Amino acid sequence: KGKVEAQCGTIVMMVCQTKIDLVDEYAQAGKQHVSTQEGEQLAASLGLPYFPISTKNNYNVTNMFEAVAARCLGAKGEETAAAAAAAEARGEEKKEKKDKKDKKDKKDKKDKKEKSEKKDDDEDAPPAGMKVDMKNPPPKKQEKKKSGGCSAV
Protein backbone atom coordinates (compact mmCIF):
# COMPACT_ATOMS: atom_id res chain seq x y z
CA LYS A 1 0.00 0.00 0.00
CA GLY A 2 2.82 2.40 0.92
CA LYS A 3 4.70 1.72 -2.32
CA VAL A 4 1.60 2.37 -4.40
CA GLU A 5 0.80 5.61 -2.57
CA ALA A 6 4.45 6.70 -2.85
CA GLN A 7 4.29 6.22 -6.61
CA CYS A 8 0.71 7.36 -7.31
CA GLY A 9 -0.18 9.68 -4.45
CA THR A 10 -3.35 9.28 -2.44
CA ILE A 11 -5.67 6.83 -4.13
CA VAL A 12 -8.69 4.84 -3.05
CA MET A 13 -7.84 1.19 -2.45
CA MET A 14 -9.72 -1.83 -1.21
CA VAL A 15 -9.33 -5.58 -1.22
CA CYS A 16 -11.80 -7.25 -3.53
CA GLN A 17 -11.98 -11.04 -3.62
CA THR A 18 -13.65 -12.11 -6.84
CA LYS A 19 -15.27 -15.43 -7.74
CA ILE A 20 -16.17 -16.25 -4.15
CA ASP A 21 -18.78 -18.60 -5.58
CA LEU A 22 -15.88 -20.83 -6.70
CA VAL A 23 -13.80 -20.91 -3.50
CA ASP A 24 -15.23 -24.27 -2.35
CA GLU A 25 -14.87 -25.79 -5.83
CA TYR A 26 -11.23 -24.69 -6.01
CA ALA A 27 -10.55 -26.18 -2.57
CA GLN A 28 -12.13 -29.51 -3.52
CA ALA A 29 -10.20 -29.61 -6.79
CA GLY A 30 -6.96 -28.84 -4.98
CA LYS A 31 -6.49 -25.61 -6.92
CA GLN A 32 -4.74 -22.65 -5.38
CA HIS A 33 -7.11 -20.02 -4.08
CA VAL A 34 -7.39 -17.28 -1.49
CA SER A 35 -9.79 -18.15 1.29
CA THR A 36 -12.26 -15.62 2.61
CA GLN A 37 -10.35 -15.60 5.89
CA GLU A 38 -7.06 -14.80 4.08
CA GLY A 39 -8.78 -11.98 2.16
CA GLU A 40 -10.16 -10.51 5.38
CA GLN A 41 -6.75 -10.75 7.09
CA LEU A 42 -5.00 -9.05 4.16
CA ALA A 43 -7.53 -6.22 4.14
CA ALA A 44 -7.20 -5.77 7.92
CA SER A 45 -3.39 -5.73 7.76
CA LEU A 46 -3.49 -3.02 5.08
CA GLY A 47 -6.26 -1.09 6.80
CA LEU A 48 -8.50 -1.43 3.76
CA PRO A 49 -12.13 -2.43 3.35
CA TYR A 50 -12.74 -6.00 2.18
CA PHE A 51 -15.34 -6.97 -0.40
CA PRO A 52 -15.91 -10.60 -1.33
CA ILE A 53 -17.86 -10.51 -4.61
CA SER A 54 -19.35 -12.80 -7.22
CA THR A 55 -20.24 -11.25 -10.55
CA LYS A 56 -21.79 -14.55 -11.59
CA ASN A 57 -24.30 -14.35 -8.73
CA ASN A 58 -24.26 -10.53 -8.58
CA TYR A 59 -23.24 -10.77 -4.93
CA ASN A 60 -21.88 -7.59 -3.31
CA VAL A 61 -20.90 -6.02 -6.66
CA THR A 62 -23.08 -2.92 -6.33
CA ASN A 63 -21.99 -2.43 -2.71
CA MET A 64 -18.34 -2.54 -3.74
CA PHE A 65 -18.76 0.05 -6.52
CA GLU A 66 -20.84 2.33 -4.32
CA ALA A 67 -18.15 2.13 -1.62
CA VAL A 68 -15.45 3.00 -4.17
CA ALA A 69 -17.46 5.99 -5.39
CA ALA A 70 -18.16 7.20 -1.86
CA ARG A 71 -14.50 6.88 -0.89
CA CYS A 72 -13.38 8.65 -4.07
CA LEU A 73 -15.69 11.56 -3.38
CA GLY A 74 -14.96 11.67 0.34
CA ALA A 75 -11.26 10.79 0.52
CA LYS A 76 -9.95 13.46 -1.78
CA GLY A 77 -12.67 16.05 -1.38
CA GLU A 78 -12.29 18.94 -3.79
CA GLU A 79 -9.32 17.37 -5.58
CA THR A 80 -11.41 14.35 -6.52
CA ALA A 81 -14.42 16.47 -7.41
CA ALA A 82 -12.22 18.66 -9.62
CA ALA A 83 -10.68 15.61 -11.30
CA ALA A 84 -14.12 14.10 -11.82
CA ALA A 85 -15.38 17.38 -13.29
CA ALA A 86 -12.34 17.57 -15.58
CA ALA A 87 -12.87 13.98 -16.71
CA GLU A 88 -16.54 14.69 -17.30
CA ALA A 89 -15.64 17.83 -19.25
CA ARG A 90 -13.23 15.82 -21.41
CA GLY A 91 -16.03 13.34 -22.01
CA GLU A 92 -18.37 16.19 -22.98
CA GLU A 93 -15.70 17.65 -25.30
CA LYS A 94 -15.30 14.26 -26.96
CA LYS A 95 -19.08 13.95 -27.29
CA GLU A 96 -19.34 17.45 -28.78
CA LYS A 97 -16.56 16.66 -31.28
CA LYS A 98 -18.25 13.39 -32.21
CA ASP A 99 -21.63 15.12 -32.61
CA LYS A 100 -20.01 17.80 -34.78
CA LYS A 101 -18.29 15.15 -36.92
CA ASP A 102 -21.51 13.14 -37.24
CA LYS A 103 -23.39 16.29 -38.28
CA LYS A 104 -20.70 17.16 -40.86
CA ASP A 105 -20.67 13.58 -42.20
CA LYS A 106 -24.46 13.66 -42.53
CA LYS A 107 -24.32 17.01 -44.37
CA ASP A 108 -21.54 15.75 -46.67
CA LYS A 109 -23.55 12.63 -47.46
CA LYS A 110 -26.64 14.74 -48.22
CA ASP A 111 -24.61 17.12 -50.42
CA LYS A 112 -23.07 14.18 -52.28
CA LYS A 113 -26.51 12.66 -52.86
CA GLU A 114 -27.92 15.97 -54.12
CA LYS A 115 -24.91 16.44 -56.41
CA SER A 116 -25.38 12.92 -57.76
CA GLU A 117 -29.09 13.53 -58.37
CA LYS A 118 -28.31 16.84 -60.11
CA LYS A 119 -25.76 15.05 -62.32
CA ASP A 120 -28.39 12.46 -63.26
CA ASP A 121 -30.83 15.26 -64.16
CA ASP A 122 -28.16 17.03 -66.23
CA GLU A 123 -27.54 13.88 -68.27
CA ASP A 124 -31.14 14.01 -69.54
CA ALA A 125 -30.95 17.74 -70.37
CA PRO A 126 -30.17 18.81 -73.95
CA PRO A 127 -26.82 20.48 -74.65
CA ALA A 128 -26.72 24.23 -73.98
CA GLY A 129 -28.18 26.31 -76.82
CA MET A 130 -30.05 23.41 -78.40
CA LYS A 131 -33.76 23.93 -78.89
CA VAL A 132 -35.97 21.01 -78.06
CA ASP A 133 -39.37 20.43 -79.55
CA MET A 134 -41.41 19.60 -76.45
CA LYS A 135 -44.02 17.84 -78.60
CA ASN A 136 -41.32 15.37 -79.65
CA PRO A 137 -38.67 15.38 -76.89
CA PRO A 138 -35.51 13.32 -77.35
CA PRO A 139 -35.69 9.82 -75.85
CA LYS A 140 -34.42 9.43 -72.30
CA LYS A 141 -31.42 7.26 -71.58
CA GLN A 142 -32.33 3.84 -70.29
CA GLU A 143 -31.25 3.11 -66.76
CA LYS A 144 -28.79 0.30 -66.27
CA LYS A 145 -30.22 -2.61 -64.38
CA LYS A 146 -28.35 -3.32 -61.20
CA SER A 147 -27.22 -6.88 -60.78
CA GLY A 148 -27.72 -8.53 -57.43
CA GLY A 149 -24.39 -10.24 -57.85
CA CYS A 150 -25.91 -13.72 -58.18
CA SER A 151 -26.58 -15.72 -61.29
CA ALA A 152 -28.06 -19.12 -61.97
CA VAL A 153 -26.13 -21.58 -64.08
Question: At residue 49, does pLDDT exceed 60?
Answer: yes
- pLDDT at position 143: 57
Q: All domains of the chain, ordered by start, with CATH?
A: 2-84 (3.40.50.300)
Three-state SS string over the chain comes to: CHHHHHHHCCCCCCEEECCHHHHHHHHHHCCCCCCHHHHHHHHHHHCCCEEECECCCCECHHHHHHHHHHHHHHHCCHHHHHHHHHHHHHHHHHHHHHHHHHHHHHHHHHHHHHHHHHHHHHHHCCCCCCCCCCCCCCCCCCCCCCCCCCCCC
The percentage of residues in the chain with a pLDDT greater than 70, rounded to a whole number, is 58
Q: What is the pTM of this model?
A: 0.41
User: What is the rounded CA–CA span in Å between residue 18 and residue 61?
Assistant: 9
Q: What are the pLDDT digits (tens) for 51-101?
A: 888 888 888 888 888 888 888 777 555 555 555 556 665 555 555 666 677
- pLDDT at position 10: 75
- pLDDT at position 106: 83
Q: What are the pLDDT digits (tens) for 108-123?
A: 888 888 877 766 666 6
Question: At residue 149, does pLDDT exceed 60?
Answer: no
- pLDDT at position 153: 46
Q: What are the pLDDT digits (tens) for 114-148?
A: 877 766 666 666 666 666 666 666 666 665 555 55
